[in-house]
Amino acid sequence: MKSFFNQILSVLMAIVVLASTMSMTVSTHYCGNILVDKTIMKPAQKCAMHDVSSQHENESNHKSCCDDEVEIIKGQDQLKLQSTDFELPQPIFIQALVYTFFIKPTLQTHKTPFRYEYPPPLYQADFQALYQVYLI
């Protein structure tokens, strides 16, 4: 499960790097104030009025009602690696934390708990034979 998650994350990061370094152009074509076509990475398709107005523009020097806009979106040219200096303020604390929670030491005590045990009573005679009571 963990390796599968790492593979998915690495593919997503590669896509993010690819998308951030890629540049593209967005072309739009307006006929008057109306948006006719908007495309990415290729020229916008012209309307029928553009063809007619371009022929009349050559003949009589009138301004066309059609307008083309091209927007260029630049990606990153260079990827900059940032490194930061990281110092632990108290490395002994971190070592103790890692030792305590990840290594899990077993605590052994050499001291036995104080418990006074009385010695068993000393039998002078065999009571089962004396009273002739036997377990069957």
Is 30 part of a structural domain of the chain? Answer: no
pTM, rounded to two decimals: 0.42
Owning domain of residue 104: 91-131
Residue 127: inside a domain: yes
Contacts of 128 (CB under 8 A, 6+ apart): 134, 135
What local confidence, expressed as pLDDT, does residue 86 receive? 67
In a domain, 107, yes or no: yes
Q: Is residue 5 part of a domain?
A: no
* Residue 113 in domain: yes
Share of the chain above pLDDT 90, in %: 7
Please report whether residue 23 resides in a domain: no
Measured CA distances, 81 to 6, 74, 78, 84, 133 (Å) = 21, 20, 10, 10, 93
d(CA 88, CA 29): 58
* Residue 22 lies inside a defined structural domain of this protein: no
Q: Is residue 74 part of a domain?
A: no
Number of domains forming the structure of the chain? 1
Question: Tell me: the pLDDT tens digits for 77-119?
Answer: 776 667 677 666 667 777 777 777 777 666 666 666 677 788 8
Q: What is the identity of the amino acid at 51?
A: D
Confidence of residue 55 (pLDDT cuts 50, 70, 90): low
